[in-house]
């Protein structure tokens, strides 16, 4: 615990450091075609490309010989979030296609000819690799690579370039490879023996209450510090502290995927639980390491559920957005009475987003009896008449919002508020995204009794939340963000489960009753792969008395 607190104490001052002292000129980075291949959530193999300075989707697509739409199709959220430097994106590999070509200006210090021919080629170190991983990949001993690059120690930094010799003799390769396999086998056997000992002495370990955990987050300690990761870590440490007071100690290793400290496969294999990284692409890298069945928790990305659906030792902690849609349908069914009308409202004229299309598909297959109506915001001033024609004057009109457009949601709420003042009883059901629409008048939320299904909601009247606030403020002299609450919830729930659950603690979670945490609920269901996905949902209502009530 002291080591972890020292780490956060050292990194917190970076949050207040100047963003940049002066602008500097630089040469545009060429689009370097990656040789790294990874398996995506759909089971297909893709190139793993690290986005460089000022690279565009056009230049990347051209370099790999694919279309921009093909890149969008395999990188969910890229179209909405945009291309960001150092982000990892997947590039489709077309069967039978020619080898991708390098584009843009070549570097003068190490030309592309040096990479493709001569005595060596270049390997760019990824954040999850150590020297042993690289040696195994190229069938070249680690000490040969270190000597060839004039390196005195095994410590590597992410994104550093290593020269890999081409002329290493086949006989030496085979001999060294055999010895490496032997050494690795011995290490893995030792790791398996440790795991077996933990299993055989499960009750004794529970009494000791010690959990070996690895936390992998993009802190950005050597660059732009990620405040969301720091907040998550701060909340996580509070959970570790609280569990320690209950007799559950945590042997915690923390890795920064953007700070140059590579993750070692052996350390992860020896862990009882690995939490992180955040994004689907980074999680895929860790999954590909094959950690001898060590459970891996996806802590923040709601879109990473597909990994749990296809990998047996992945746990999706954030409830997928699709679960919000299913819960809205269930909620409407539960509250519907005779004479009520159900109307699904969406925006006309705009190409539906992936979220809107998914909600529409779930609605279509739900068997719910509803009517649909759409209009464009340009018709907003006259839409109230058309909407009124579809409403009931005697029953409750239950409106389901199926749009992630803030402008449309704002206009719809305005029209429905007008109709509510004319005597129509209206209740509107929305996914959690509507809470981020700042242009909607808060009075409209209460006038329309907005019902929200959400993966997260913090009840600040809860004694547990109030205690957390006091502890957090006292330790960090700051207010906790949503990420801090999530770090606490994830840390407390999964470290407790790993400590108390015995040999199959992960799979013992499937089918258990819902556990309520500070801002989220955990109720896991097992996928066909054996992975676990959280189905816990919170419901809250904006009351006509200006209250916000958590009802589930």
DSSP state of 209: T
pLDDT of residue 303: 83
Question: Which two three-digit tokens encode residue 320?
Answer: 């997928």
Strands (E), 125-281: 161-165, 210-217, 249-256, 273-275
Give the residue, 289 or 445, on which the prediction is more confident. Answer: 445
pLDDT digits (tens, 9 = 90+) for 506-537: 888 988 888 999 999 999 999 888 899 999 99
- Specify the range with the lowest mean pLDDT, choosing from 23-27, 290-294, 393-397: 23-27
| 106 to 35, 87, 213: CA distances (angstroms) | 17, 21, 43
CA–CA separation, 522 and 525 (whole Å)? 10
Among 172, 127, 111, 168, CA closest to 145: 168
Give the lowest-confidence range in 191-195, 279-283, 454-458, 500-504. 191-195
Higher pLDDT, 353 or 198: 353
Q: How many residues does the chain have?
A: 552
Angle at 20 (CA atoms; ends 14, 26), nearest 5 degrees: 130
107 DSSP 8-state letter: P
User: What distance in Å separates the CA atoms of residue 193 and residue 191, rounded to the nearest whole number?
Assistant: 5
Grouping H, G, I as helix, E, B as strand and the rest as coil, residue 312 is coil
**Percent residues over pLDDT 70 in the chain:** 80
User: How does pLDDT run across 222-251, given as a tens digit for each residue?
Assistant: 667 788 889 999 999 999 999 988 888 888
Higher pLDDT, 159 or 342: 342
Q: What is residue 223's predicted lDDT score, i.e. its pLDDT? A: 66
Tokens matching residue 175: 């001999």
Q: How confident is the model at residue 10 (pLDDT cuts 50, 70, 90)?
A: very low
Give the C-alpha separation, 222 to 541, whole Å.
Answer: 43
Residue 86 forms beta bridges with which residues? none
How do beta strands 538-542 and 451-454 pair?
antiparallel
| Residue pLDDT, tens place only, 355-378 | 899 999 999 999 999 999 998 878
pLDDT at residue number 39: 72
Peptide bond between residue 127 and the one before it cis (omega within 30 degrees of 0) = no
Inter-axis angle of helices 2-11 and 227-245, nearest 10: 160
Arithmetic mean of pLDDT, 108-122: 50
Q: How far apart are CA 233 and CA 235, in angstroms?
A: 5
Nearest-angstrom CA–CA distance, 272 and 249: 13
pLDDT for 190 beyond 80? no
Percentage, residues of the chain above pLDDT 90: 27
The token duo for 328 is 């809205």
Poorest-pLDDT segment among 6-10, 19-23, 395-399, 480-484: 19-23
pLDDT of residue 11: 43
Residue 106 reports pLDDT greater than 60: no
What's 428's DSSP letter? E
Give 101's pLDDT tier (boundaries 50, 70, 90): low
Burial class (CB in 10 A: 0-12, 13-18, 19+), 300: buried
Q: CA-to-CA distance for 91 and 37, rounded, in angstroms?
A: 9
Token pair 């790999």 is at which residue?
Answer: 64
Distance in angstroms (rounded) separating the CA atoms of residues 338 and 395: 7
Q: What is the pLDDT of residue 5?
A: 42
Res 135: pLDDT: 84
Looking at residue 47, what is its pLDDT?
Answer: 84
pLDDT in tens, 262-320: 666 777 888 889 998 988 888 888 888 877 788 999 998 888 888 888 888 999 999 99
Query: Which tens digits make up the pLDDT trace of 48-59?
Result: 888 887 778 878
Q: What is the largest CA-CA distance in the chain?
A: 88
- Report helix, strand or coil for 452: strand
| SS3 assignment, position 522 | strand
The yes-or-no verdict on residue 45 having pLDDT over 70 is: yes
For residue 148, give the H/E element and its range: helix 142-148
Cα–Cα distance for residue pair 462/448, rounded to 1 Å? 26
Return the half-sphere exposure (C-beta side, CA atoms, 13 A cut-off) of residue 464.
Answer: 13
Q: Classify 314 in phi/psi space as left (phi over 0), alpha (psi -120 to 50) or beta.
A: beta
CB 257 within 8 Å of CB 234: no
Beta bridge partners of 520: none
Tell me the C-alpha distance between 285 and 40, whole Å. 10
CA-based end-to-end distance of the chain? 35
Residue 2: which pLDDT band, with cuts at 50, 70 and 90? very low
- What domains can you pick out in the chain, each with its CATH number? 32-105 (3.10.350.10), 120-196 (3.10.350.10), 201-319+460-535 (3.40.50.2300), 322-454 (3.40.50.2300)
pLDDT value at residue 236 = 94
Amino acid 96: pLDDT = 56
DSSP labels, 349-407:
SSPPPHHHHHHHHHHHTT----EEEEE-GGGHHHHHHHHHTTS-SSS-EEEEE----HH
Task: Specify the pTM.
Answer: 0.64
Q: Which residues are 37's β-sheet partners?
A: 47
Q: Cα-Cα-Cα-Cα dihedral of 155, 160, 161, 164, to 10°?
A: 20
Distance CA 69, CA 119 (A): 38
Per-residue pLDDT, 66: 87
Instruction: Report the relative pairing of strands 249-256 and 210-217 from DSSP bridges.
Output: parallel
Question: What integer best gives the mean pLDDT of the chain?
Answer: 79
């Amino acid at each position: 615990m002291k080591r972890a607190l020292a780490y956060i104490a050292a990194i917190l001052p970076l949050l207040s450091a100047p963003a940049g002292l002066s602008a500097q000129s630089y040469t545009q980075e060429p689009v370097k075609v990656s040789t790294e291949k990874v398996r995506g959530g759909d089971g297909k193999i893709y190139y793993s490309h690290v986005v460089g300075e000022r690279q565009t989707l056009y230049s990347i697509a051209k370099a790999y010989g694919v279309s921009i739409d093909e890149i969008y199709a395999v990188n969910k959220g890229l179209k909405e979030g945009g291309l960001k430097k150092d982000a990892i994106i997947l590039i489709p590999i077309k069967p039978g296609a020619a080898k991708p070509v390098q584009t843009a200006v070549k570097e003068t210090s190490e030309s592309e000819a040096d990479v493709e021919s001569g005595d060596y080629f270049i390997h760019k170190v990824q954040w999850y690799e150590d020297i042993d991983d690289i040696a195994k990949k190229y069938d070249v001993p680690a000490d040969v690579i270190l000597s060839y690059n004039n390196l005195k120690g095994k410590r590597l930094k992410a994104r550093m370039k290593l020269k890999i010799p081409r002329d290493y003799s086949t006989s030496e390769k085979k001999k060294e490879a055999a010895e490496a396999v032997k050494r690795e086998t011995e290490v893995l056997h030792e790791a398996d023996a440790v795991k077996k000992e933990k299993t055989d002495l499960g009750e004794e370990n529970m009494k000791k209450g010690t959990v070996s955990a690895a936390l992998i987050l993009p802190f950005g300690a050597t660059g732009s510090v990620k405040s969301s990761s720091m907040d998550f870590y701060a909340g996580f440490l509070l959970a570790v502290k609280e569990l320690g007071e209950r007799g559950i100690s945590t042997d915690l290793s923390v890795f920064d995927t953007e700070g140059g400290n590579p993750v070692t496969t052996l350390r992860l294999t020896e862990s009882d639980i690995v939490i992180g990284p955040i994004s689907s692409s980074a999680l895929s890298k860790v999954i590909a390491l094959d950690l001898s069945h060590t459970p891996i928790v996806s802590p923040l990305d709601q879109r990473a559920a597909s990994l749990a659906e296809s990998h047996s030792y992945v746990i999706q902690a954030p409830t997928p957005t699709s679960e919000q849609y299913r819960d809205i349908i269930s909620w409407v069914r539960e509250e519907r009475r005779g004479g009520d009308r159900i109307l699904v409202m969406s925006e006309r004229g705009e190409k539906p987003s992936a979220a809107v299309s998914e909600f529409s598909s779930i609605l279509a297959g739900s068997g719910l009896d509803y009517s649909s109506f759409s209009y464009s915001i340009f018709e907003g001033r006259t839409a109230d008449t058309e909407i009124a024609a579809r409403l009931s004057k005697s029953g409750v009109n239950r409106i389901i919002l199926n749009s992630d457009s803030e402008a449309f949601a704002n206009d719809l709420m305005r029209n429905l508020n007008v109709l509510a003042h004319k005597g129509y009883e209206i209740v509107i059901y929305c996914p959690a995204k509507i809470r981020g629409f700042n242009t909607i008048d808060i009075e409209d939320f209460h006038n329309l009794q907005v019902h929200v299904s959400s993966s997260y909601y913090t009840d600040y009247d809860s004694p547990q939340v109030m205690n957390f606030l006091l502890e957090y403020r006292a330790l960090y002299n700051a207010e906790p963000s949503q990420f801090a609450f999530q770090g606490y919830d994830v840390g407390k729930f999964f470290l407790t489960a790993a400590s108390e659950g015995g040999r199959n603690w992960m799979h013992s979670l499937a089918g258990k009753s819902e556990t309520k945490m500070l801002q989220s609920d955990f109720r896991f269901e097992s996928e066909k792969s054996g992975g676990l996905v959280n189905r816990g949902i919170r419901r809250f209502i904006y009351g006509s008395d200006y209250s916000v009530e958590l009802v589930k």
